[in-house]
């Protein structure tokens, strides 16, 4: 998987799925729902996030519901990688399944809002070009990297089922 370069959107601990994908919008389409992402926490996020940006959070990112819309809203709005000190397990798996690489990174406190980051998901490195720093992340487990690189579980299934059939 190649480099992802974009601006950082930084948040603290415990950003839960109700904040990322508020319950009133779960039955809506992605297009209708995504603009409400984080509206109860940071109303500036959804209108201003751009293609290629990177979501940065502290501990327990994505805690709560199994709703796939939480990472899917982020992806729909343009987020291309997620860094956090720790992830709730379903959110982590959902992100991988959507082909949106989640990286466990202990140094997210060092990242400032809108710092420019260059993320290499395969190597598990993050270069903060604004600050001139480099951070090392836990690598994505090898058995999953291929799935993420091929664009997520659906793309992967399409490939493997075709091969099998």
- Chain residues that interact with another protein, rule: CB under 8 A: 14, 16, 18-19, 22-24, 26-29, 40-41, 59-60, 63-68, 86, 88-90, 93-94, 97-98, 141, 143, 152-154, 157-158, 161
**In angstroms, what is the minimal distance from the CB of 7 to another protein?**
25
Tell the smallest beta-carbon distance from residue 156 to another protein (Å): 8
Nearest-angstrom CA–CA distance, 165 and 161: 6
Q: What is the DSSP letter of 16?
A: B
Nearer to another protein, 27 or 163 (CB): 27
CB of 22 to another protein, least distance (A): 5
Instruction: For residue 65, give the 3-state DSSP assignment.
Output: coil
User: Among residues 36 and 80, whose Cβ is nearest to another protein?
Assistant: 36
**Measured in Å, how far apart are the chain's first and last C-alpha atoms?**
27
Closest among 94, 104, 105 to 147, alpha carbons compared: 94
Is-contact 120 100, C-beta < 8 A? no
């Amino acid at each position: 998987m190649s480099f992802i370069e974009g601006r950082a959107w930084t948040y603290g601990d415990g950003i839960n799925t109700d904040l990322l994908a508020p319950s009133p919008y779960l039955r809506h389409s992605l297009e209708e729902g995504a603009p409400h992402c984080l509206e109860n926490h940071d109303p500036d996020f959804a209108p201003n996030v751009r293609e290629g940006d990177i979501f940065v959070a502290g501990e327990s990112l994505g805690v709560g519901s199994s709703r796939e819309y939480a990472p899917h809203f982020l992806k729909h709005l343009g987020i291309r990688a997620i860094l956090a000190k720790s992830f709730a397990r379903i959110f982590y798996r959902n992100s991988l399944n959507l082909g949106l690489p989640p990286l466990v990174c202990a140094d997210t406190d060092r990242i400032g809002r809108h710092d420019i980051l260059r993320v290499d998901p395969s190597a598990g490195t993050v270069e903060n070009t604004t600050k001139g720093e480099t951070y090392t992340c836990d690598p994505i487990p090898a058995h999953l990297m291929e799935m993420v690189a091929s664009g997520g579980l659906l793309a992967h299934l399409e490939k493997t089922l075709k091969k099998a059939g």
